[in-house]
A and B are shown apart, each in its own frame.
Chain A
Amino acid sequence: MVGCTLPPWLLGGQREGFALRVRWEPPWVCGVHMEGSWAGVHVNGVVGYPCTPYGGCGRGAPHPGAPSPCCLPCPRCAQRLCSAAWGDTIFAVSSGHGRCGVAVIRTSGPGSRGALQSLTGRPALPPPRVLALRRIRDPATGEPLDRGLVVWFQGGDGVHQTPPRQRPGSAGPQSFTGEDCAELHVHGGPAVVSGVLRALGALPGLRPAEPGEFTRRAFRRGKLDLTAAEGLGDLIRAETEAQRRQALRQMEGELGRLYQHWSDALTQALAHLEAYIDFSEDDNVEEEVLSQVDATVRALEREIGSHLQDGRRGELLRGGVRAVIAGPPNVGKSSLLNLLCQRPAAIVSPVAGTTRDVVEVALNVGGYPLVLSDTAGLRDATDPVEKEGVSRARDRLQEADLVLAVLDATAVPTEPVGLGAALGSLQPPPTTPCIMVLNKADLLKGKGGSLRAACTQGHPLPPVTLLSCKTGEGLDHLLALLARELARLCGDPLSGSPSLTQSRHSLHLRQCAVALARYGRERRSDLGLAAERLRLARRHLGSITGHVSTEDILDIIFRDFCVGK
Chain B
Amino acid sequence: MEDKYSSNVLSGGKLGMVEVPDSRLTRYIVLLILSKILKALGIFESYDILKVVHIVQFIFILKFGSAVILLVFQKPFSSGKVISKRQWIKLVKHAVSSCIISLLGFFGLTLCGPLRTLLLFEHSDVVVVALLGVLFTNSGGGPSKTRGAAFFIIAVICLLLFDNDQLMAKMGDHHPEGHHDSALTHFLYTAISLLGVADHKSKVDSWSSLVVPFAMIIFSVVILEFYVEAVCSAKMEAPRCARYGAFALFPAALALANFWTGPLRRPPPTQLATEHVLSGGVIVSAVFFVIASSILTAPSKKGQKGTLVGYSPEGTPLYNLMGDALQHTSQSLPRFIKDSLKQILEEYDSRQIFYFLCLNLAFTFVELFYGVWTNSLGLISDGFHMLFDCSALVLGLFAALMTRWKATRIFSYGFGRVEILSGFINGLFLMVIAFFVFVESVSRLLDPPNINTDMLTPVSVGGLLVNLVGICAFSHAHAHSHGGKSCSSQDHGHSHHGHSHGEHGHAHGGHGHSHGVFLHVLADTLGSVGVIISTILIRQFGWLIADPICSLFIATLIFLSVIPLLKDACEVLLLRTPPEQEKDLNSALEKIEKIEGVLSYRDPHFWRHSANVIAGTVHLQVMSDVVEQRIIQQVTAILKDAGVNNLSVQVEKEAYFQHMSGLSTGFQDVLAMTRQMASMKYPNDGTLIL
The judgment on whether A and B are partners is: no
